[in-house]
Amino acid sequence: MNKDKAVIRLSIDGKPIKARAGEKLLWAALDNGIYIPNLCALRARPEPDASCRLCWVEIDAEKTPVPACAIAVKEGMVVNICGEKSLTLSRAGFELLMASHALDCARCPANGRCELQKIAKVLKCSLKPKQLRLLLPDLPLDDSNPLFNLDPNKCVLCGRCVWECRKQGEKAVLGFAHRGFARRLTTFGDKPIGNRCFDCTACVKACPTGALALKDKPD
């Protein structure tokens, strides 16, 4: 919590909490042990990306749900994260995400620690889309790196790995290519990840899914 800013009081689902004035609601909730689904939010990013469309909440002063990553806390704010309107929007965002996700939890390295599994549980919805037709990218696994694999079919384009990779400065290799359905994680020059990156696994630690996963160690 930024110590230079005034402490304000608000409530989330009836629970009174304290936060620093101007702080984004998502971080205030998470810091107080209240989970709001999110994938693209990064605390260090000055302005939120607000692209994953999962963190919808209802606020007493607003007619329509707002994304918790983009709204600043205010004194006396009353927040409802379980309202029907916000849940409907968050579930729709999740369904859209999962309509292009190669769901195969039983054989996925992230099974049991995956944030998609956690979000499905919190939103009380299925990992498998119910309304939308599946449209899977069918991209090749990149196993060229000695330490980890990249399975772009399990990538949700959250950008966490790209943010971590950019901390490497000139050695950074990850970025996004293309737009819309064709958008995907790649390396600059679209080279196999093993050609560009060797000894760092910061991206793997940041990944909320099984898209980036350490290789099994030999027995």
Footprint on this chain of ligand SF4 (rule: CB under 6 A): 101, 103-105, 108, 110-111, 114, 116-117, 127, 154-161, 185, 206-212
CB 10 within 8 A of CB 32: no
Q: Roughly how many angstroms between the first and final C-alpha of the chain, as a whole number?
A: 44
Q: How far is the CB of 48 from ligand SF4 (least distance, A)?
A: 15
Report the distance separating Cα 96 and Cα 52, nearest Å: 10
Nearest approach, Cβ of 12 to ligand SF4 (angstroms)?
26
Minimum distance of ligand SF4 from residue 203's CB (angstroms): 6
d(Cα 116, Cα 118) in Å, to the nearest integer? Answer: 5
Q: Which residue has the tokens 């998470």?
A: 30
Minimum CB distance to ligand SF4 smaller for 176 or for 198? 176
Smaller CB separation from ligand SF4, 93 or 159: 159
Measured from the CB atom, is 32 or 51 closer to ligand SF4? 51
Q: Is 27 left (phi over 0), alpha (psi -120 to 50) or beta?
A: alpha
Longest dimension (CA), the chain: 58
Q: How far is the CB of 96 from ligand SF4 (least distance, A)?
A: 15
CB nearer ligand SF4, residue 50 or residue 72: 50
Token pair in block for residue 138: 């069918």
